[in-house]
Amino acid sequence: MPQYRYQVRQPNGAQASGVLAAETAAAAASILREQGLHVLQLVPTARSAANLGNMLGQLNFSTGPGLKEILDFTTQLAVMTRAGIGIRQALEGISEQVENPKFKRILHNIRMDVEAGKQFSEAIAAYPKLFSQLYVSMVRASEMSGSFSKMLDRIASYLAQEVETRRMVVGASIYPGLIAAMAVSVTIFLLTFVLPRFAAVFAGREDVLPAPTKFLMGLSDFLVNWWWIVLIAVGVLIAAALSLLRTAPGRLLFDRFKLGCPLINRMFRALYISRSLHTMGELLNAGVPVLDTIAITGDISGNALFRSMWRGVYGGVKQGRKIQSQLVKSTLLPKPVVQMIAAGEESGKLGEVLQEVSSYYHRVLRDAIKAVTGMIEPLMIVLMGSCVGFIAMAIILPIFKMSSLVNN
């Protein structure tokens, strides 16, 4: 039977600790409460933790929950708690309906922690990959203010906008990606299957072939005979690029590119501004301290340059300066946005102002995505047509040239 190490407060106020054997943490907590003890801490012993680790190890091949599943969980929990259902019963009911086995186990562990006496915010903080700092901070603020269900509704609204934003960005990249894949596939097919068929026709006449045909014939021969080198080179380049993106300089370089590329900079700038201001507004309206709000905003912004900007704001506010006094030093936020933030600070309605500005930039982001998609689609079609046309020209030109030599 699993054993749990506990720490309790006795009726006289003294604290005590020990080890208790029980089937589950909930059963152990129930035994202690029946003795009139207030549970302060209840954790598995090393042996029980090892057994739990073995059980969790069986789930290693399961896919973890995504943002959409966290949104569904938050929405269901808000509805159930607003209906008067206790959080323990709500977690148990939701976990029984969850299909993802890894998420089911996580919700079970969270319920056990809550039954053991932990706050819900403390229980979910153990899973930072699922529940962000923003999520935990807003829940912790609601626990202190007593507005748990309302705060869950606000978190669900925030997550719903994040899901919509990701869907828009991913949707905008699908069609250009398909066109690019088709262009590469058609080009490889022409070079490795069609062009070699003409090699026999052009054999012995290499001196009369135009330069484009010679170039493509050499490229075709290389792809047919040395295709494995191409695959290795592509694999090495992809691995090198991914490794570079994992480093701070590489990430900074990529983030600079996204904000500097003329075709996509407006879209990404709107994305980061909307996300930053929306996060900051939600946290301030939830009652989270300003310094914690700024720190979380920087971490969630998603761009190294914006993260650096918010860290500078954090340092300035910590020294007693206003938020807008630090933002004016950066070029990442437009001046009208900084002015509205300053007005919000002066009026004491900064959270409301940030929500309105973030809503505006969310609409700007939607329009920017449509504009980028509208520009990329014809560019990709023109690029694909140019590649196919160049190959067709390289094949047809020597045929016309050899025909004219024969007639002469």
Taking residue 34's Cβ as centre, other Cβ atoms within 10 Å add up to 8
Of 137-141, 206-210, 325-329, 379-383, which range is least confident?
Answer: 206-210
- 205-258 pLDDT, tens digit per residue, is 667 777 888 888 888 888 888 888 988 999 999 999 999 888 888 889 999 998
| Domain ranges, ordered by start, for the chain | 3-57, 67-159, 179-408
Could you tell me which CATH number the domain at 179-408 has? 1.20.81.30
Domain 3-57 matches domain 179-408 at the CATH topology level: no
Mean residue pLDDT of the chain comes to 81
Could you tell me which CATH number the domain at 67-159 has? 1.20.81.30
CA dist., res. 52 & res. 106, Å (int):
12
Query: Which residues is 44 bridged to in the sheet?
Result: 4
Higher pLDDT, 18 or 111: 111
Could you tell me which CATH number the domain at 3-57 has? 3.10.20
Please answer whether residues 112 and 73 qualify as being in contact, where contact means their C-beta atoms are separated by less than 8 angstroms. Answer: no
Token readout for 343 is 């007005």
- 296-306 pLDDT, tens digit per residue, is 888 888 888 99
What pLDDT, on a 0 to 100 scale, did the predictor assign at position 48? 47
Task: Spell out the long-range contacts of 217-220 with Cβ–Cβ below 8 A and sequence spacing 24 or more.
Answer: 219/191, 220/191, 220/192, 220/195, 220/196
Token readout for 375 is 């520009």
Higher pLDDT, 339 or 394: 339
- Nearest-10 crossing angle of helices 304-318, 248-260: 100
Quote the percentage of the chain above a pLDDT of 70. 87
How long a stretch of residues is the chain? 408
Query: Which residues is 4 bridged to in the sheet?
Result: 20, 44
